[in-house]
Structure 1
Amino acid sequence: MSVRQRIKSTAIFKRLLAGFIFISAASFAAEKTEIKVGVIDSFNPEFSTQTLEPTLKFLNSKLPAYRFVPVSLNSVNPDKELKNNPVDFLISSAGTFHELSLSQGIVHVATRKTILSDDPSASEAGAFVTLAKREDLKELRDLKEKVVAASQPNSFDGWLVAQHEIFKNGLDPENFFKRSVFTHFQFPDSLMLLIQGEADVAILSACVLEQLSNEGLIEASDFKVLAQKPQGVLRCARSTDLYPGIVFAAREDIPPKLKWEVTSALMSMPPTNDYEWTIASRFSKVDELYRDLQLVSCNFN
């Protein structure tokens, strides 16, 4: 057999082998039990690459009998959305988890915690960010009748926690700002409105400013955080109280064995992109926020 014939025969064999492997893999994949993980789509865009994709990849590797697939759920009316789109598990803010635990009985599996916090029940907060040169803005009360930029009106740590802080300072959050501009994304949209002078303050999730600075995307000295709380559990500048992080929850009637397997897998997942899955035991702050802002019967995230 000539060299050319041997090469041709080898190539054919490899194609046949590849086809066999593909068919076998497809058959194997078809035998896996599909597990739907709903995702309330009100997170910052980097959530997908920082947390969602690595988490599902890890679960698929750790629990090979299952195939975990994401299902995007609209955040406008999460209660109705979840009823119309049955999923096995759900990833949402602590706020949406609180709401759906009351309306549909979803149960806690794990909570995402930044490595910059020592407590998963106190790992998220909001920050009132202004330009450093705005010497007229020093305290929270100085923001009254100013223009605010934020991501979404149903964002938990990007809006609602800031509203709660305004309420706790004896002010009316509904009539505090002159105008609210919702940009969908905290960065670059909200900060760009600040820089362009189209907004006086931007509401960011705590640690976002530090992250952007560390990545060289902004100059930290160009901005300041108003009404800063003392740093302690969370090692980032913040203007609000601390709340639990993003929650990985399960449907109430999920098989106990599956819930245990997923919980155990998430607890064994190493920190990824400065976040890790752990257990939060206190959600009283979330309950207080919903009660004070009278959001219990509302569909907010």
Structure 2
Amino acid sequence: MKAFSDTPEWVEKTKMIEQPQSQGFFVEFFVFFLAEKGVVGKLIFVVGLFFSQPLVVQANAASAPIEISQPSLTIGIPDTLVNPKDVIELQKMLSELRRSLPKYHVATITFSAADGLDALRKDKPDFILAPTGFFATIDGSPAQNTYKIATRINLKSGDPEQSVGAALAVLNDRKELVSLADLQHKTAQSGLPNTIDSWLSVRNELKKNHYDDEHFFSKISFSNNAYPDVLSALLNKKADVGIIPACLLENLEEQGLIKKGLIRIVHQKKDSPLGCRHSTDLFPDISLWAAEGTPREEVKDLTIALYKTGGDLSRQWVPNVSERRIMELFERLKEGPYRYLRDITPAALYERHKGAVWFVFLLFVFLLLNELRLNVLIKRRTAMLANALLEKDNFEAKAIKVRKALNAYEKRSIVQQMSGMIAHELSSPLGSIRTYVTLLKMEGSSKIPFSKEVKQKALNGIEEQVLTMSKIIDRVRGYAKNNYSRQEDCDLALLLKKSAGSLIAERGRQLENQIVFDWSVRTYYPIKGNALELQILFLNLLRNAADALSDDVSGTIHVKISKDARAEQWLCEIENPASQMSQSQLEMINEKSYSVSTKTTGLGIGLSICRGICDRHGASLSFQLADKKLKAALRFDILPEGQSAQIGG
């Protein structure tokens, strides 16, 4: 709850500033003369002194008429500047200005601080003496209506920007009121609600300490002046807390208007540049402003008078005092020029956050357009992906078809490759059949007929050899028809011997002395595999090696079998001369995709078939070039006996 109480005839109180310097000494004399009187008597004396000042001013005006030709220089003073110390100091200031500016008639105008801008527009003073932040608390922009000239120095402060504040005063006998928290829900009395050295600085302190500044006290009453109104309410126990300007209590105690120890300050600030007790942050003191429209010559003369070297005023007034601290206070409290922050209507919020609203709107538009762009891109990329997947499916179908065709071609190629081997295997049973037929033909020319046993033996031999030939043909036909082959125990050395025999039968007996086997004859080299495919594998490699010897009659083919104990593998090596092979060619044939025939170096014939057979048997095939000799290295796993598997072809 907030209430106002007005001191009667407050307008006349500050007219004592008009009195001459001699009247100022008179006032000071009586103030100190009554230092030993009671508190109530002192307050009555000061109030009576304020009421007596209009008569003094009128008497002075009657005894010293003003020349009409003398230009007037008026200074506006708000009615809230009635602190006795301020009154005396301002009176001295006016007297000094009158002495420094003899060509001007320096006069004062007291205006109502509550009326603010309306009072200034009505009275139109040339200069205004106002407390700090005064123009920020009234309607109108100070930057458009007034211009700061100087700021008063508080001689008790070491920093002009930290000169005034507020103090939370309580009676010393209220022992329960010690901290700021103890004042919550108590009644309070303050000066005007829009003054920095009173209620506003207290609100700022409450905010900083995380309290509800507008509902901290159970009741807050406001009056025009801290002295004597606020102190009277506190002394009469009409309020628990009195909010007074900093240094006011010290000034009154020094002048004997308040007994020392009667009033105590709560929540005192430590390590402050101000040498007075206070409870809030500090701000600049009273400032002198030039009103808009004041002649520049008057502003210049007054400024020179204030800052004149050696003058009394130059020690009390300084320029260039920032109001940053004041504006931060107003922004935190949403008062003065920041009061619009209290307005939360949509229009006010838009006006206050126009930049942010437009940023969010443009960001939303950007995100919306980006979303549309992403949708278009997603549809486009989805269509492209669908087409790619369709092409992939078509390609895979074609690849499967091609693989089947290649597999069939490989089977046919293998069958074709087996022609020489089959001819070699069929030559033996055919020779036996021819022998038996020849014996039977000899019976007609022989004088001694053959016995039935001999004839039957010959016929049985023919039948047996025919069955052998039939098995060989069925085995080849079965391999060509099926896509898999069953693996069985095989002897690696025996398969190499058979493949070499097939090659010798195919190429001629001259190869018998050019193929050299390097292994123990009695050693068994067991592996798991399809004997027919492995024979074709070895036959192709031996053919490549034989092709490399076509121009070198003295060359030899070395076939070696050894055991790699560490890897548990059989290592089969077929080595032949390769004087014309380069390192680049070696790299090419080691690529799985290479299948071009290079007969002069002994490579390329059925190389893709060889790799396919190796893959089906879990074997590895690599080529090495050293000392102008090419070595084909085959590695087979040593598998336990009895293990077999079917490997898809």
TM range (shorter): 0.7 to 0.9
Q: After superposition, what is the alpha-carbon deviation per residue over 1:16-44, rounded to whole angstroms, capped at 9, x for unaligned? A: xxxxxxxxx857x3221111211121223
Aligned residues: 271
Please give the alpha-carbon distance, in whole angstroms, between the structure 2 residues aligned to 1:220 and 1:288: 35
Tell me the secondary structure at the aligned position of residue 264 of structure 1.
helix
Q: Is the 8 A contact 2:81 2:87 kept in 1?
A: no
Please give the alpha-carbon distance, in whole angstroms, between the structure 2 residues aligned to 1:296 and 1:262: 29
In structure 2, the residue matched to 1:58 is 96
Unaligned runs of 5+ in 2: 1-63, 340-649
Runs of 4+ in 1 over 6 A off after TM superposition: none
Please give the alpha-carbon distance, in whole angstroms, between the structure 1 residues aligned to 2:230 and 2:146: 33
Q: Is the 8 A contact 1:209 1:220 kept in 2?
A: no
Q: Is the 8 A contact 1:95 1:286 kept in 2?
A: yes
Q: Is the 8 A contact 1:129 1:224 kept in 2?
A: yes
In structure 1, the residue matched to 2:242 is 202
Q: Which runs of structure 2 are paired with 1:184-195 in the superposition (5 Å)?
A: 184-195=224-235
Tell me the secondary structure at the aligned position of residue 91 of structure 1.
strand
Q: Which runs of structure 2 are paired with 1:232-271 in the superposition (5 Å)?
A: 232-268=272-308, 269-270=311-312
Letter in 2 for 1:211: N
Q: Is the 8 A contact 1:139 1:226 kept in 2?
A: yes
**Corresponding position: 1:128 with 2:155:** no
**Corresponding position: 1:113 with 2:148:** no
Aligned pair partner of 1:93 in 123, 131, 135? 131
Tell me the secondary structure at the aligned position of residue 217 of structure 2.
coil
Distance 1:66-1:271 versus aligned 2 partners, 3 A rule: closer
Letter in 2 for 1:56: L
Please give the alpha-carbon distance, in whole angstroms, between the structure 1 residues aligned to 2:110 and 2:256: 31
Shift of 1:151: 2.4
Please give the alpha-carbon distance, in whole angstroms, between the structure 2 residues aligned to 1:103 and 1:84: 19
Shift of 1:50: 1.4
**Corresponding position: 1:228 with 2:268:** yes
Q: Is the 8 A contact 2:77 2:108 kept in 1?
A: yes
Shift of 1:75: 0.8
**Corresponding position: 1:76 with 2:121:** no
Letter in 1 for 2:208: K
Shift of 1:91: 0.8
Q: Is the 8 A contact 2:207 2:213 kept in 1?
A: yes
Q: Is the 8 A contact 2:76 2:125 kept in 1?
A: yes
Shift of 1:231: 4.2
Please give the alpha-carbon distance, in whole angstroms, between the structure 1 residues aligned to 2:313 and 2:177: 37
Higher Cα Rg: structure 1 or 2?
2
In structure 2, the residue matched to 1:180 is 220
Tell me the secondary structure at the aligned position of residue 87 of structure 1.
coil
In structure 2, the residue matched to 1:21 is none
Q: Is the 8 A contact 1:121 1:280 kept in 2?
A: no
More relative contact order, 1 or 2 (CA 8 Å, 6+ apart): 1
In structure 2, the residue matched to 1:289 is 329
Tell me the secondary structure at the aligned position of residue 228 of structure 1.
coil
In structure 2, the residue matched to 1:5 is none
Q: After superposition, what is the alpha-carbon deviation per residue over 1:147-177, rounded to whole angstroms, capped at 9, x for unaligned? A: 1012222333122211221122222221111
Please give the alpha-carbon distance, in whole angstroms, between the structure 1 residues aligned to 2:229 and 2:292: 38
Letter in 2 for 1:270: D
Aligned pair partner of 1:37 in 75, 83, 107? 75
In structure 1, the residue matched to 2:361 is none
Tell me the secondary structure at the aligned position of residue 220 of structure 1.
coil
Q: Is the 8 A contact 2:306 2:313 kept in 1?
A: no
Please give the alpha-carbon distance, in whole angstroms, between the structure 2 residues aligned to 1:176 and 1:93: 25
Unaligned runs of 5+ in 1: 1-24
Tell me the secondary structure at the aligned position of residue 244 of structure 1.
coil
Tell me the secondary structure at the aligned position of residue 174 of structure 1.
coil
Name the one with the larger helix percent. 2
| TM-score, normalization by structure 2 | 0.39
Aligned pair partner of 2:256 in 216, 235, 246? 216
Tell me the secondary structure at the aligned position of residue 151 of structure 2.
strand
Tell me the secondary structure at the aligned position of residue 114 of structure 1.
coil
| TM-score, normalization by structure 1 | 0.81
In structure 1, the residue matched to 2:207 is 167
Shift of 1:142: 1.6
